[in-house]
């Protein structure tokens, strides 16, 4: 991608007004408390000391209950904020508001998160659409605009308020994203499968230099490595790929998206096990050849007249795009 390659607390106020008759009102000498400074939260990675303040001098809030403190501002505001259909690149850490327990961190994964705004938690989506690239905020999401009333595995208890330290690194509009995907498709289609690479790896030798062997018996060699900032595909994602499949024993061709002239979008978890596993080692721009043993492919049944029983398979795969399925932490 152009700039990719390679997303928010609880303030509730209530005032009760009653009027039966007109009575003189006395303030009793009460003076409103002066605003207190906000805690000195530092930008970047680091622990969180709970609790998050309910009010302080630099805190802002919205009707949804979102509260935020701006830690730093981006140098160039001219790009503006992402819209509701943008794809955003965000460096972040998430904490339980109750005790400051870390629940997720892009820093620990070594790369920013890349998300489509419609897939974000409601509070995340609200906050990110007020930020411009380079902005970093501390954001408090009350549970109704975070994960709601249900627990998330053993990580997030039910009805948990969440705090995020989040920095918007960059974003692409829907139009820019579509153009990026189309450009990737066009480039991949023009390239086609790497025929020299096919010749170089046949017959397949799992012990050859450069071959990566996995515990399942799947093995692969990397032909091209992307410089994309995006993470590898997850089993919950959809991916857009070009691919060509061959029988490992004979190198006979049996399927190719390049031949059809169109990349395919697949759910990562909906494919044969070896293909799924291979995709989780790829990010957009990567190209590999993978060898899949029969027990990780179509097994003893084979597949129609194309793939015989107990056939090992080989695929050349070029990953073009990842479509994250889960909401961001």
List the catalytic residue out of 52, 92, 220, 243. 243
- Provide the pairing of β-strand 253-256 with 238-247: antiparallel
Q: Is 238 designated active site? A: no
Residue with tokens 């249900």: 150
Question: Is 131 in contact with 143 (CB distance < 8 Å)?
Answer: no
Q: Which two tokens stand for residue 307?
A: 């793939």
Q: Is 315 designated active site? A: yes
User: How far, in Å, CA of 256 to CA of 270, rounded?
Assistant: 18
Q: Is 202 designated active site? A: no
The pair phi, psi for residue 138, each rounded to 5°, is -95, 125
List the catalytic residue out of 254, 266, 281, 323. 254
List the catalytic residue out of 95, 147, 315, 329. 315
The candidate with the shortest Cα–Cα distance to 2, out of 311, 228, 242, 293, is 228
Return the DSSP state at 62: -
Percent of the chain as helix, strand, coil, to the nearest 5 = 20, 30, 55
List the catalytic residue out of 10, 95, 275, 298. 298
Question: Is 208 in contact with 272 (CB distance < 8 Å)?
Answer: no
List the catalytic residue out of 107, 194, 272, 281. 272
List the catalytic residue out of 238, 255, 295, 312. 255
Q: Is 243 designated active site? A: yes
Residue 41, Cβ density class (10 Å: 0-12 exposed, 13-18 middle, ≥19 buried):
middle
Residues marked active site are found at 243, 254-255, 272, 298, 315
């Amino acid at each position: 991608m152009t700039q990719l390659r390679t997303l928010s607390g609880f303030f509730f106020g209530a005032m009760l007004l009653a009027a039966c008759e007109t009575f003189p009102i006395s303030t009793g000498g009460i003076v409103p408390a002066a605003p207190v400074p906000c805690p000195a939260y530092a930008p970047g990675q680091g622990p969180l000391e709970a609790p998050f303040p309910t009010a302080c001098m630099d805190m802002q809030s919205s009707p949804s209950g979102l509260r935020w403190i701006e830690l730093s501002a981006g140098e160039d505001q001219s790009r503006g904020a992402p819209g509701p259909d943008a794809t955003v690149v965000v460096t972040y850490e998430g904490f339980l508001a109750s005790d400051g327990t870390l629940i997720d961190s892009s820093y620990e994964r070594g790369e920013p998160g890349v998300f489509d705004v419609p897939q974000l938690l409601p509070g995340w989506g609200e906050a990110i659409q007020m930020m411009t690239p380079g902005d970093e905020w501390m954001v408090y999401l009350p549970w109704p605009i975070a994960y709601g009333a249900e627990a998330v595995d053993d990580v997030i208890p039910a009805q948990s308020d969440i705090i995020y330290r989040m920095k918007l690194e960059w974003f692409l509009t829907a139009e820019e994203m579509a153009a990026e995907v189309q450009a990737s498709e066009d480039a991949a289609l023009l390239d086609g499968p790497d025929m020299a690479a096919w010749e170089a790896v046949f017959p397949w030798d799992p012990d050859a230099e450069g071959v990566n062997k996995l515990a399942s018996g799947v093995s692969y060699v990397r032909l091209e490595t992307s410089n994309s900032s995006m993470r590898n595909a997850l089993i919950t994602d959809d991916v857009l790929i070009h691919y060509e499949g061959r029988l490992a024993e004979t190198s006979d061709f049996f399927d190719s998206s390049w031949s059809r002239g169109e990349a395919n979008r697949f759910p990562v978890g909906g494919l044969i096990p070896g293909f799924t596993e291979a995709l989780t080692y790829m990010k957009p721009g990567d190209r590999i050849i993978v060898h899949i043993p029969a027990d990780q492919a179509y097994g003893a049944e084979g597949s129609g007249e194309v793939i015989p029983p107990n056939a090992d398979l080989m695929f050349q795969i070029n990953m073009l795009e990842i479509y994250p399925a889960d909401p961001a932490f």
